[in-house]
Amino acid sequence: MGEVDPAFIQEPEHRPRISYIEGKGVPLIDLSPILSSSNVSAIEFEGLVKEVGDACKEWGFFQVINHGVPLEMREKIDGASRKFFAQSLEDKRKVSRNEKEVSGYYDTEHTKNVRDWKEVFDFTIEEPTIVPASHEPDDTELTEWNNLWPEYPPDLREICQEYGQEMVKLAYKLMELIALSLGLPADRFHGFFKDQTSFIRLNHYPPCPTPELALGVGRHKDGGALTILAQDDVGGLEVKRKTDGEWVRVKPTPDAYIINVGDIIQVWSNDRYESVEHRVMVNSEKERFSLPFFFNPAHYTMVKPLEELTNEQNPAKYRAYSWGKFITNRKRSNFQKLNVENLQIYHFRISE
Ligand code: OGA
Ligand code: NI
Give the nearest ligand 1 atom to 118 CA: 10
Alpha-carbon span 75 to 72, nearest angstrom: 5
Nearest to 106 by CA among 202, 224, 5: 202
The average pLDDT across 56-82 equals: 98
What is the per-residue pLDDT for 20? 64
DSSP type of residue 326 = H
Residue nearest to atom 1 of ligand 1 (CA): 292
Q: Considering every ligand atom shown, identify the ligand nearest to the alpha carbon of residue 237 and give its number.
A: 1
pLDDT digits (tens, 9 = 90+) for 152-184: 999 999 999 999 999 999 999 999 999 999 999
Question: 220 CA to middle of ligand 2, Å?
Answer: 6
For a mutational test of ligand 1's pocket, the pick from 109, 203, 231, i.e. the residue with the most ligand atoms closer than 8 A to its C-beta, is: 203
| Residue among 95, 184, 197 at smallest CA distance from 145 | 197
Distance from the alpha carbon of residue 312 to the mean position of ligand 2, in angstroms: 34
Ligand 1 midpoint to CA 201 (Å): 9
Q: How far is the CA of 140 from the centre of ligand 1 (A)?
A: 31
Question: Residues 193-212: what's their mean pLDDT?
Answer: 97
pLDDT at 112: 85
Instruction: For residue range 276-318, list pLDDT tens digits in order.
Output: 999 999 999 999 999 999 999 999 999 999 999 999 999 999 9
Separation CA 252–CA 191 (nearest Å): 33
Give the number of other Cβ atoms within 10 Å of residue 72's Cβ.
Answer: 7
Q: Which helix (H) or strand (E) holds 64?
A: strand 61-65
| 233, pLDDT greater than 50 | yes
Q: Is the pLDDT of residue 335 over 60?
A: no
> Is 80 exceeded by the pLDDT of residue 12?
yes
Predicted confidence (pLDDT) per residue in 130-150, tens digit? 999 999 989 999 999 999 999
User: Ligand 1 site: residues with CB under 6 angstroms?
Assistant: 201, 203, 217, 222, 229, 231, 237, 278, 280, 290, 292
Ligand 2 center from residue 146 Cα (angstroms): 23
Q: How far is the CA of 280 from the centre of ligand 1 (A)?
A: 7
Q: Hey, CA dihedral for 259, 226, 307, 310, is it positive or negative?
A: positive
**Whether residue 2 has pLDDT greater than 60:** no
pLDDT band, residue 232 (cuts 50/70/90): very high
The answer to whether the bond into 297 is cis (omega within 30° of 0) is no
Instruction: Tell me what pLDDT residue 100 has.
Output: 83
- The ligand that comes nearest to the alpha carbon of residue 200 is 1
CA of 217 to the centre of ligand 1 (A): 7
Check residue 341 and give its pLDDT: 65
Q: Ligand 1 pocket test: which of 280, 287, 295, 331 has the largest number of ligand atoms within 8 Å of its C-beta?
A: 280
The pLDDT-based confidence of 336 (bands split at 50, 70, 90) is low
pLDDT above 80: residue 24: no
Residue to probe by mutation, ligand 1, list 221, 239, 251, 278, most atoms within 8 Å of CB? 278
Of 44-58, 187-201, 283-297, 319-333, the poorest mean pLDDT is in 319-333
Q: Specify the ligand 1 atom closest to the Cα of 291.
A: 10
pLDDT in tens, 82-110: 999 999 999 999 999 988 889 999 998 88
In this model, does residue 338 exceed pLDDT 60? no
Q: What is the 3-state secondary structure (H, E, C) of 134-187?
A: CCCCCCCCEEEECCCCCCCCCCHHHHHHHHHHHHHHHHHHHHHHHHHHCCCCCC
* Strand-pair partners of 93: none
The reported pLDDT for the residue numbered 1 is: 43
Distance, CA of 73 to CA of 211 (rounded, Å): 31
- Quick one: pLDDT at residue 140? 94
Alpha carbons 185 and 175: distance in angstroms, whole number? 11
* Distance from chain centroid for Cα 214: 20
Which has more pLDDT, 114 or 274? 274
Residues 6+ apart with CB under 8 A from 219: 14, 111, 112, 240, 277, 278, 279
- Could you tell me the pLDDT band of residue 37, with boundaries at 50, 70 and 90? low
Question: What atom of ligand 1 comes closest to residue 260's alpha carbon?
Answer: 7
Nearest CA to ligand 1 atom 8: 237
> What residue's CA is closest to ligand 1, atom 10?
290
Residues in the chain: 352
Mean pLDDT over each residue of the chain, to the nearest integer: 93
Q: 44: left (phi > 0), else alpha (psi -120 to 50), else beta?
A: alpha
pTM reported for the whole predicted model = 0.95
CA 257-60-194 angle, 5° bins: 70
CB 179 within 8 A of CB 189: yes
Atom of ligand 1 lying closest to residue 231 CA: 8
Question: Is residue 244 pLDDT above 50, yes or no?
Answer: yes
Which residues are close to ligand 2, an ion, with C-beta < 5 A? 222
